[in-house]
Amino acid sequence: MARRLSPRAMMLAYRIWAVADPVDWSVSLPELAAMLGEDVDELRRVCKRKGWLSRLAADEPESMAEADI
Distance (Å, rounded) from C-alpha 68 to C-alpha 21? 27
The span from the CA of 33 to the CA of 55, in Å, is 16
Angle between helices 40-50 and 7-20 (to 10 degrees): 90
Q: Is residue 60's pLDDT more than 90? A: no
Name the residue with higher pLDDT: 30 or 2.
30
- pLDDT tens-place string over residues 30-51: 999 999 999 999 999 999 999 9
